[in-house]
Structure 1
């Protein structure tokens, strides 16, 4: 009996041995694979760390070379000698990516003082029911600036040529030309700004897009609609671009808090050139913003613009009138953006709006340089706003709605109050509340191109409705700076 038990145990052990061996072998193979993956991860991490160290050392070397070049320019010493005297980078372990990184750094160093050049090409086909030559914003004195829907048919639109570069470690500069379809060239922006000031402070000087409001600081090709809101046309002549100086302070907080001030010549609408020393216009602004969870964010702000006008002229019923006095404008702006988990590639939405309120006091001069010339007190409080929403419903495709409304408000005109004139003598200023509704859909094959269709129903004059159709293209060439939030 015992003999049979021993034989059975020996047979069982003989059968189980291959299975145990196979299991051990499988386990050893899995452990070997895990060890191999760990080695690969460690090697990749070390390679990336070495590459980052190389980039840091190369950046230090480039910085020393740039300072040497500047010293040579300023002091007349040979640049090559200054570069040779710059401290050499510390030795590093070369990786396969090093030659490419070194080439990129060399290219960066060689182009350190060369400007980036970008171009924006735009064009529009417009179908307008009403004659654009008769367009006006009833109740508001014309600004003479960028107002109205433009001309019928094909139009080249506004193109831009921008050159920007770092001047030295302390300053950067930018020059932007605007080219109209009528072959007119205008300096849209030409400014220098600081790069290395401490405590979140930044200074800009020259001609620049003012930071009042929200849309004003953005170039037209970044707008979500073909044209500017009616409030911008009525109160800022399209966009406010002062010649002067701007100071901004960014608070060292987790939230976005920005405070700034500007002082300019005052020649830009609603002001005029008054042939005076110092600042002819001042503005102040404050903006705050933050994230709302993982998918949403906002920015809100308030701005104030104080300027003056000396014989700010406009044509009305064949006569030239002008205004002299003070102009004060308040702007409140807000924008809300949503994208699932903060990723706007496939779908996103933004809601944007601004409110304007302007008060002007001074003198209205009627029919200047004619026998019917007369002058009297003038006072007005006018307002306007717009609200728009844009939804990207699939990659490359967006649709949006915008509603604009203006209120000509209360205008006290001394020449009418004392019976010298009637409202029939000042038809453009007669009270009215212009409005407009717009719909757009656009397609962007890439971040460099956009095609847009816009439909609008404009009621800027009493008893007249202008149905407008716009087809627009916007193309970007070259190196272009990132757009604001």
Structure 2
């Protein structure tokens, strides 16, 4: 009997132990399944986050490349105060003709309209510091380092502030900056599709126009991008000039644009510039061993129109894209022309009308390769009381119509580097010139997106 009790107790204990072992095993399995499920969820969340980050970057790049830029600047680069960027630019130039004898009949060149030096030279390098000053203002400071007439020069190119929080589509910019007169004029040279400026920019603006002043712009709350703006400048910079107690020149501009589906976008603009009582000095001309500098005193106005079209398949700007760009300008001058340092002093009245346009197409056919073609044409009608004075100033075209055709190819390993080869068939003056450029452009540090 006692043995029976002992056997029963042992059996019950073994059953209990077996039951407990099964329960613990099941508990361990449940915990392992739970841990595995948590690991799967965490992995899935990480993948989703990575996909969203990649998608946001691609959307930002696409919007920057295919949509007209709003006048409201996005808050960025808050991690650095200031954000610093450097543009390294250099060029090798080869000409059939002597670049020192370059001229455009019918146009007295001024500003920085000369050709790049032959051989190796420093291009248009820049040092830029920029950042949001606070939640209400943005600031930018740009030094340009370039070579002119064999000497390296450092120039304060831009130093301006811009409002961030006026609201209702209004923005104010003040200081020194590129004028919104035209499309290409607002862009720094490293953002151009060719090494040199269009002929109409060279002849009318002396390559590019900037000055000290104030800009007010307004973007309307409409489905179509519509920007209205005006600028007031000191009037000391070419193509104006001279001393002015207040406003020396005024500018007005209108830009309109939008998207067509997901692959197409466009922008069109008109602009107008006017200056009274200016003193515009052109580049000097040699006459009987003496340098005679043409000086125009009078009134001047410039009117322009531009049209831009861009295509990127499904908005994917990084892989392929195409851009068509067209601009037309006309300038009217009315006043007095004097040849400084002439003996005796030579003078003439001047009534001048100059106009020109360029059209270009750039095609990025692979992620790292692009090519472009450009055509320029100029016209002029200049009259005065002394044709010899106009001739000495370079304002007599003798029936010649300046034209130029250009083609370029560039390798773009990344958004920070570019190597470019360009050829110009330049008939802007009577002796046709074959021009070849090899250019490098590198970007170091923070660099914001370019305008549309």
| Distance of aligned partners of 1:422 and 1:277 in 2 relative to their CA distance in 1, 3 Å threshold | closer
Please tell me whether residue 403 in structure 1 is matched to residue 372 in structure 2: no
Q: Is the 8 A contact 2:104 2:394 kept in 1?
A: no
For 2:146, the equivalent position in structure 1 comes to 180
> Alignment partner of 2:152: what SS?
coil
Counterpart CA distance in 2 for 1:422 and 1:119 is 44
Match of 1:229 in 2: 198
The correspondence of residues 424-463 of structure 1 with structure 2, limited to 5 A, is: 425-431=392-398, 432-462=400-430
Preserved contact between residue 348 and residue 390 of structure 2 (Cα < 8 Å): no
Structure 1 position 42, deviation (Å):
13
Question: 1:218 and 2:187 equivalent?
Answer: yes
Distance 1:397 1:369, change over 3 A: closer
- The TM-score with structure 2 as length reference comes to 0.80
Report the TM-score, using the length of structure 1 for normalisation.
Answer: 0.74
Once the two structures are TM-superposed, the CA of residue 411 in structure 1 deviates from its matched residue by: 1.2
State whether residues 240 and 280 of structure 2, in contact with CA within 8 Å, keep that contact through their aligned partners in structure 1: no
Tell me whether 1:357 sits opposite 2:323 in the alignment: no
**Residue equivalent to 1:412:** 383
**Which of 293, 315, 329 matches 2:261?**
293
The C-alpha deviation readout for 1:85-119, integer Å capped at 9, x for no partner, is: xxxxxxxxxxxxxxxxxxxxxxx87x46x100000
Residue 484 of structure 1 aligns to a residue whose secondary structure is coil
- Give matches, 1:256-335, under 5 Å: 256-274=225-243, 276-308=244-276, 309-310=278-279, 312-318=281-287, 319-335=292-308
Q: How does 1:26-425 map to 2 (within 5 A)?
A: 40=41, 44=45, 111=79, 114-143=81-110, 145-181=111-147, 182-274=151-243, 276-308=244-276, 309-310=278-279, 312-318=281-287, 319-365=292-338, 367-408=339-380, 410-416=381-387, 421=388, 425=392
Whole-angstrom CA distance in 2 between matches of 1:472 and 1:239: 19
- Report the CA distance between 1:221 and its aligned residue: 0.5
More strand by share: 2
Q: What SS class does the counterpart of residue 178 from structure 2 fall into?
A: coil
CA distance in 2, matches of 1:208, 1:435: 30
Change (3 A) 1:422 1:376: closer
Task: Tell me if 1:477 matches 2:444.
Answer: yes
Distance in 1 (alpha carbons) for counterparts of 2:119 and 2:160? 35
Asked if 1 retains the 8 angstrom alpha-carbon contact of 2:85 and 2:129, the reply is yes
Name 2:22's counterpart in structure 1: none
Question: CA 1:433–1:249 in structure 2 vs 1: closer, same or farther (change >3 Å)?
Answer: same
Alpha-carbon deviation of 1:424?
A: 5.3
What is the distance in 2 between the residues matched to 1:424 and 1:205? 40
SS of the residue aligned with 1:233?
Answer: helix
Shift of 1:44: 3.9
Task: State the shift of 1:369 in Å.
Answer: 4.2
Query: Higher relative contact order at CA 8 Å, sep ≥6: structure 1 or structure 2?
Result: 2
**Gap runs ≥5 in structure 1:** 1-31, 53-107
Quick check: 1:304–1:329 contact (8 Å CA) kept in 2?
yes
- Is the Cα contact below 8 Å between 1:438 and 1:455 reproduced in 2? yes
Structure 2 partner of 1:101: none
Contact 2:213 2:233 survives alignment (8 Å)? yes
CA deviation map 1:57-88 (0-9, x unaligned): xxxxxxxxxxxxxxxxxxxxxxxxxxxxxxxx
Deviation at 1:146, TM superposition (A): 2.0
CA–CA distance in structure 2, aligned partners of residues 470 and 42 of structure 1: 52
Q: Deviations over 1:329-373 (max 9, x none)?
A: 0010011001111112221111101000110101112x3344332
Computed over aligned residues only, the root mean square deviation of the Cα atoms, in angstroms, reads 2.5
1:211-266 per-position Cα deviation (integer Å, ceiling 9, x unaligned): 11110111100111001101111111111101000111111112211111000100
Q: CA deviation at 1:314?
A: 3.8
What corresponds to 2:21 in structure 1? none
Residue aligning to 1:60: none
Q: Aligned residues, how many? A: 381
Q: For the residues of structure 1 that align with 2:136 and 2:94, how far apart are their CA atoms?
A: 49
- 1:79 aligned residue: none
* Distance in 2 of aligned mates of 1:301 and 1:193: 22
